[in-house]
Amino acid sequence: MSNSFVNIIKILIILALTFSLSFATTVTLDAAGPTLTLSPTSGPIGTKVSVSFCDKDLAGRTIGIGNITFDGMPMNNRVIQLDSDGCLCATYFTVPYVDLVNGFGTPLDAESFTVEVKVSGVGPQDQPSTKPFTVTRPGLILSAYSGYKGGTVTVSGTGWPQRTPGAVTVTIEGAGTAIKKNATPDSSGAFSISYTAPPTDDAYFQDVGADCDRYLQVWAQDILGNVAPKPTNKRKFCLKAAYLTLDPKSGPPGTSVKVTGAGFQPQTSVEDLKIANTMIFAPNLMTNTVGTFTTTFPAPTLPLGCQVVSATVAGLTLGECFTITEPSLWGALDGELEIPVEDALATISDKLIRVWGYYNGEWRVYDPNDPLGSNLTGLISGRAYWIKLSEDCTLIFRQLKAGWNNIGW
C-alpha cells in the first residue's frame, strides 16, 4: 500500500515537472520573438529595404500601423496581415532622411552609423524583434589632390542611391564662390564628373598652411539628404605654386636652354622673359590653357657664374639660375670664319623668313627681303640662332618646322 502511494507521488512530481518545462519553453520561444531578415542590411539614405520573417505560432496575426520602426520612426502606415504560415513576406520601407547630427548624433565625418529596425506588437507575449541596419555615407574620390590653375580634375562618387537623374550635386568651393555640377549615379551607385580648377579668380582658394598655399574643398549632396563625409584633406584640391625650370641649368655661351613654366595664368602673354638684364627673343609666347609655356634660347656671352633667367606672366615673376661656364675647347671663338647667311641657308632660302642671333650682348637679324638693313651677315660654328620658316623643311641633317626654330650651328 505504501509502495503504491509512493509511486503515485512520483508520477505526480514527473507530471508537474513536465508541465513546468513545457510552460517555460513556450515563454522562452514567445520572449525571443520571430527572427527578422533585412535585405540589404546596409545602404545610404533612400535605400529600399525588405523586412521578412516566418513563425508558425504567429499564423493569422497582424502587425499594427507603425509597429515596424527604423530608429524609432514608424515605417508602415497600414495593418499588415501575416499569412497562414505566420510569415511576413517582403514588406518594404525606404531608409528615411534624418538630420545627421540631431537625429543620429553622429559626427559629420563618420563613414557609417548603425540603427535598429524593430517589429513589435506581434505574438502572444508581444515581444519585439530587432535587427541592426547600417546607414552608409556615399564617398568621393579625386583623380588628383593637387595641381595648377586651369588643371582638370575628375571627381568620382561611390555608394550613392542608384539611377536618380541629376540627383547628386557636386560642389567645388573656395573662400569666395563655388562651382556646382549635377551627376547621375549608375546602377552601382557610382558617377564621374570633371571640373577645371578656376584659372583666374584666386577667391576660389583658401589659405591652408605651409604644405599647400591655397585649396578647393570638394563635397557632394543628393536630393534625398545623403552627404559625402565632411571635406578632409583627402577631398581638398591643393593649388600648387607656379614654377620655372631650365634644361640644362649650366653651359657655355651658345648653349641651347629650354625654359618651362607651369602654374601661371592660362592663355596669357609672357610679358617679360630675360637672362640677367638681356631680353630673350620669344615672339608671341603665351601660356596654354593650363598655364604652361615652353621656349628655348641660346645662352648669351655673359660673365661666368649664375645669371638669373626670369619670366613674368600676369604680374607674377619667377626666376631660375643658369650658370655660364667657360666655352668648350671646340666651341666658337672670336674671329672665327663666318659662313655667309645666304650660303649657309641656301637650301632653304625659298622658305626663309628671318634669322636672329645673339652674341656678346647684342641681337643681330637677317631679313632675306631686306639684306641691306640686316646686320647678321654670317653664321659661326658653336653659336645658336633663331630661324623662322614658312613651312617644314630639312637643313642639312636638321628637321625644321614652320615657324620659329632654335638651332645650334
3-state secondary structure 300-322: CCCCCEEEEEEEEECCEEEEEEE
Model pLDDT, residue 68: 93
Residues shown for the chain: 409
Q: How many helices (H) and strands (E) does the chain have?
A: 2, 35
Grid cell locating 54 = 516566418
Q: Report how far residue 371's alpha carbon sits from residue 350's, in angstroms, rounded to the nearest whole number.
A: 15
Model pLDDT, residue 198: 62
Grid cell locating 131 = 535587427
Grid cell locating 318 = 619667377
Question: Does the N-terminal peptide bond of residue 248 adopt cis geometry, omega within 30 degrees of 0?
Answer: yes
pTM: 0.54
Model pLDDT, residue 109: 54
230's CB contacts (< 8 A; 6+ apart) are 107, 108, 109, 219
∠ CA(243), CA(245), CA(246), 5° rounding? 160
Buried b (16+ CB within 10 A) or exposed e, 349-382: eebbebbbbbbeeeebebbeeeeeebebebbbeb
Residues of the chain scoring pLDDT < 70 = 1-33, 98-110, 123-126, 149-150, 164-165, 174-177, 198-215, 229-236, 327-337
- Structural contact between residues 218 and 235, judged by C-beta atoms closer than 8 angstroms: yes
Q: Report how far residue 94's alpha carbon sits from residue 113's, in angstroms, rounded to the nearest whole number.
A: 16
Model pLDDT, residue 3: 56
